Structure 1
Amino acid sequence: MNHRGTEGTEEDENEQDTELKGLTRGVIGAAIEVHRVLGPGFLESVYEEALGVELSLRRIPFRRQIVVGVNYKGRFVGEGRVDVLVDGRLIVELKAVEHLAPIHVAQLLSYLKAMKLRHGLLVTFNVPALRLGIKRVVNDA
């Protein structure tokens, strides 16, 4: 048995987890800054644009409005759009609602599964304090 290989794999996973935690903290910090400056009450598109500005200022790599193809039994049946994909591994779905609903979580989980990713953030800006509007979502499938 090659223990060195196993240890390397565990170290790599721990390093990736640490990197992802740092990335997630950076995104949450950026979202908090957007909320601090703009407050609640704008459309989702305004927050998406502002978050893009803030992520750029922080040099956090991201892409917006990523098209996700949906297949059913091997056939293309439509598409969805991920609001923000950070560093190719963290999906951030933005909302401008008072309360996050189960359907919002389901939407993010569907995107995570379709893109074969594990981690996502659901953020609604229409709250008095942003900490009340952030939900971490993990795809365990």
Structure 2
Amino acid sequence: MNLIEEHNKRYEFFREITGEAMLVHRKYKSGLLESAYEAALKYLLEQKERKVERQVFLPIYWDNVQLDQTYRMDLVVDDQIIVELKAVSHIETAHRKQLWNYMNLTHMPYGMLINFGSDRLYSEWYQRCSNGTIEKIRLL
């Protein structure tokens, strides 16, 4: 197997999840609330025998003290991929930063940002590196 094939195989799960998201987008188009896309994508991923949790609470800490604030991650797939869904006209930097912060707070290795809000489904894929930086992943 050459380097390109190895790279693409390593990140095949991104393509799988995006494929299921495309099915949801084809069926529902744009214009629904994020929660509708979330429920449908969760269902389809579970049919593919993926473990999927929806609206996962993420507590916030100051040092070792849990604060009176939590966030909710849209989907967590296989205990390692945060899937942040949007239903907006276009993705902005604030949407990316939200996902990156979730990845850093949880130390989960992978994140996806998927937007159902335009005529075409849009997705971005990220990996959290060992030094804490977030790197965009592309299949070759």
SS at match of 2:41: helix
Normalising by structure 1, we get a TM-score of 0.80
Match of 1:134 in 2: 123
Count how many residue pairs are aligned between Structure 1 and Structure 2.
123
The TM-score with structure 2 as length reference comes to 0.81
Q: Which runs of 5+ in 1 are unaligned?
A: 1-14
Question: For 1:96-133, what per-residue CA distance to the aligned partner results, in whole angstroms no more than 9, with x for missing partners?
Answer: 10111111111111111111112100011011111xx2
Q: Contact 1:92/1:123 (CA < 8 Å) preserved in 2? A: yes
Find runs of 4+ consecutive structure 1 residues off by over 4 angstroms.
none
- Cα shift readout 1:29-67 (whole Å, capped 9, x = no counterpart): 110110011110100011101111211222222111111
Give me the whole-angstrom Cα distance separating, in 2, the residues matched to 1:73 and 1:89. Answer: 24
Pick from 76, 81, 85: which aligns with 2:66? 76
Give yes or no for the alignment of 1:123 onto 2:105. Answer: no
- Mapped partners of 2:60, 2:126: distance in 1: 20
Which residues of 2 match residues 1-141 of structure 1 at below 5 A?
18=9, 21-77=11-67, 78-130=69-121, 133-140=122-129, 141=132
Higher strand share: 2
List alignment gaps of at least 5 residues for structure 2: 1-5, 133-140
Identity %: 31
Q: CA RMSD in A?
A: 1.7
Higher normalized helix content (fraction of residues): 1
Whether contact under 8 Å (2:14, 2:125) holds in the other structure is: no
